[in-house]
């Protein structure tokens, strides 16, 4: 094989192997979130499979081009079908417990794909002729790693942003199919490669018309049946309901949104105030509300267009800023009368960097001296879990005592709306006993 052909093939291997890892991490977000406890094991399993592939590739003694072409063809099918939205979503929908579905996706798709790709450089190094082994392997590794570098940038910053995750899946499947054509002149492999790539296109681009994928989330607008609502529709983000809207006059929204509006408009009587909303959802908090000015912050630039076209059927009310919620509150010079935190990464969890003391301190900094922070959390209704107690304890470590309203108390997971004030401070509380009871003195104070 010519050095140019070898470099082209190992470039495709590097591009598609890391591309598969990036795609797999993105596919897991709607089901498991993006916490380090999900991403780190996934990366670890990928690297283990890659290492085993290196060892397996070093043992191949003949038919080098044919073996790599076969590996590319199988990997193209694995990527095109196994990393498609129907396959990953179907695994998590039908396999329980959830960690078994995770192992099916990572161990049954990503791992074998990485193992096949890992064989490429050790095998093709045998095809390099009169050059030193160190020089030959170093050159091959350079082109492979360059492909991985460009894959990380191209897929995350361009393909997924503009065309969606499914386009990234098809691109990797198509490049592996191209690698098959480059490695073998036999018509049988060419036909098989064309069938696999065409099938990948069909699986990834034929989807429900209400489904939209971006680099950050999966979106869908669906008609549902809800008691008391008139033709309700939901704006789903990563498979969970972010907002509800119906055709009533005025429109009805989700219960937690109505509760937030009651606190802001009725209980606090806000008029002419600046309200910051972290996490856009369906932009329903400001729907029909002209008394105050709303600033929405969301990391996904596509969410506004999708919500306006498919959910609100009109322009959202307020200002929209594309940014990470934590970065925005840490860097903004603006001060708000209220900060509403309504950010979720999957069905029931807030991104872990948005529940730390440092985040709540940054959010408090964005408040005016008499401002209020409202946070919509999904916790167990009894607030007994370690996560619920940890989140609330962290909030009160920054703000002092906060109000806690548990909605949907009868469900295992409930919306919990907390109200914390910039004017309060965390202090050590005294415990009243029969021996030392300072209740009357404290009441007077």
DSSP string, 373-440: EEEEEEEETT--SHHHHHHHHHHHHHHSS-EEEE-STTSSEEEEEEEEETT----PPPPP-SSS--HH
Q: Which domain holds residue 98?
A: 3-207
Partner residues linked to 253 by β-bridges: 245
* Residue at 426 is within a domain: no
183 and 267 co-located in one domain: no
Of 13-22, 74-83, 316-325, 406-415, the one with minimum mean pLDDT is 406-415
Write the DSSP assignment of 171-187 as a string of letters.
HHHHHHHHHHHHH---H
Rounded-to-integer distance, Cα 218 and Cα 235, Å: 11
Q: What CA–CA distances, in Å, run from 410 to 218, 240, 381, 415?
A: 29, 19, 7, 11
Domains held by the chain: number: 2
Shared-domain flag, residues 96 and 159: yes
Task: Judge whether 115 lies within some domain.
Answer: yes
CA distance 333 to 375: 21
> CATH code at 341?
3.40.50.150
Name the domain boundary from 175, 207, 239.
Answer: 207
How many angstroms separate the CA atoms of 413 and 427, rounded?
A: 30
116 and 146 together in one domain:
yes
Q: Calculate mean pLDDT across residues 232-237.
A: 91
Cα dihedral 342, 346, 352, 357, rounded to 10, equals 20
Mean confidence (pLDDT) of the chain? 91
Report the first-to-last Cα separation within the chain, whole angstroms: 87
Q: 183, 207, 231 — which closes off a domain?
A: 207
Pick the more confident residue, 187 or 42: 42
Structural domain contains residue 260: yes
Residue 444 within any structural domain of the chain = no
Distance of CA 37 to the CA centre of its chain: 14
Give pLDDT tens digits for 351-361: 888 899 999 99
Q: What is the pLDDT of residue 215?
A: 85
Question: Do 186 and 281 share a structural domain?
Answer: no
| 285-304 per-position pLDDT tens digit | 999 999 999 999 999 999 99
Q: Is residue 439 part of a domain?
A: no
User: What pLDDT is attached to residue 128?
Assistant: 74
Q: Are residues 294 and 404 in the same domain?
A: yes
Structure tokens at 311: 């959910």
- What percent of the chain lies above the pLDDT cut of 90? 67
Residues 74 and 156 in one domain: yes
Question: Does the residue 438 lie in any domain?
Answer: no
Q: What's the mean pLDDT in 36-61?
A: 95
Distances (CA, A) of 22 to 83, 167, 216: 11, 13, 12
Mean pLDDT of 131-158: 87
Instruction: Indicate whether 176 and 320 sit together in one domain.
Output: no
What are residue 293's DSSP bridge partners? Answer: 274
* Residue 402 sits in the same domain as residue 359: yes
- 430 pLDDT higher than 90: no
What residues does 367 pair with on adjacent strands? 336
Residue 433 lies in a domain: no
Same domain, 349 and 319: yes
Q: Where does a domain end: 178, 207, 236?
A: 207
- Alpha carbons 402 and 384: distance in angstroms, whole number: 17
What gap in Å lies between CA 128 and CA 130, rounded to an integer?
Answer: 7
Per-residue pLDDT, 346: 59
Specify whether the CB–CB gap between 282 and 307 falls below 8 A. Answer: yes
Note the pLDDT of residue 207.
Answer: 66
Interval 238-251 mean pLDDT: 88
- Considering the domain architecture, whether residues 373 and 238 belong to the same structural domain is answered as yes
Backbone angles phi, psi at 56, to 5 degrees: -65, -40
- Could you tell me the CATH number of the domain that includes residue 97? 1.20.1250
Q: Given this model, what pLDDT does residue 244 score?
A: 93
Q: Which helix (H) or strand (E) holds 223?
A: strand 218-223
430 is a domain residue: no
- Sheet of 336-341, strand order: 319-322, 293-298, 274-278, 336-341, 367-380, 413-421, 403-406
Are 92 and 70 in a shared domain?
yes
Same domain, 149 and 251: no
């Amino acid at each position: 094989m010519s050095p140019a052909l070898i470099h082209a093939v190992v470039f495709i291997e590097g591009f598609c192997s890391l591309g598969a890892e990036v795609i797999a991490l993105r596919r897991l977000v709607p089901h498991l979130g993006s916490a380090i406890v999900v991403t780190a094991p996934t990366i670890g399993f990928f690297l283990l499979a890659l290492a085993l592939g290196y060892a397996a590739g070093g043992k191949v003694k003949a038919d080098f081009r044919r073996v790599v072409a076969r590996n590319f063809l199988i990997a193209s099918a694995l990527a095109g079908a196994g990393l498609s939205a129907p396959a990953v979503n179907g695994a998590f929908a039908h396999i329980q417990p959830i960690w078994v579905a995770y192992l099916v996706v990572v161990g049954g798709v990503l791992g074998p794909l990485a193992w096949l790709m890992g064989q490429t450089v050790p095998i093709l190094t045998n095809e390099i002729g009169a050059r030193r082994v160190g020089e030959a392997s170093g050159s091959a590794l350079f082109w492979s790693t360059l492909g991985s570098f460009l894959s990380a940038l191209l897929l995350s910053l361009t393909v997924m942003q503009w065309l969606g995750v499914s386009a990234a899946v098809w691109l990797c499947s198509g490049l592996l199919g191209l690698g098959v054509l480059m490695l073998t002149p036999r018509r049988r492999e060419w036909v098989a490669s064309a069938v696999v790539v065409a099938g990948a296109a069909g699986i990834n681009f034929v989807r429900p018309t209400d489904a939209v994928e971006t680099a950050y989330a999966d979106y869908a607008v669906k008609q549902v049946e809800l008691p008391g609502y008139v033709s309700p529709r939901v704006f789903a983000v990563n498979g969970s309901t972010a907002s509800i809207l119906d055709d009533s006059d005025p429109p009805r929204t989700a219960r937690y949104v109505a509760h937030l509006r009651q606190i802001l408009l009725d209980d606090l009587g806000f008029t002419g105030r600046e309200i910051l909303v972290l996490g856009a959802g369906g932009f329903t908090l400001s729907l029909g509300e002209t008394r105050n000015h709303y600033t929405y912050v969301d990391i996904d630039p596509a969410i506004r267009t999708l919500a306006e076209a498919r959910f609100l059927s009109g322009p959202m009310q307020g200002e929209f800023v594309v940014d990470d919620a934590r970065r925005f509150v840490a860097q903004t010079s603006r001060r708000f009368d209220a900060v509403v935190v309504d950010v979720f990464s999957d069905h029931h969890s807030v991104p872990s960097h948005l529940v730390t003391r440092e985040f709540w301190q940054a959010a408090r900094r964005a408040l005016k001296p008499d401002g209020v922070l409202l946070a919509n959390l999904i916790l167990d209704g009894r607030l007994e879990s370690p996560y619920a107690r940890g989140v609330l304890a962290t909030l009160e470590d920054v703000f002092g005592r906060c109000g806690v309203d548990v909605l949907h108390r009868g469900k295992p997971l409930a919306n919990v709306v907390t109200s914390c004030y910039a004017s309060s401070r965390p202090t050590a509380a005294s415990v009243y006993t029969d021996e030392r009871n300072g209740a009357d003195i404290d009441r007077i104070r």
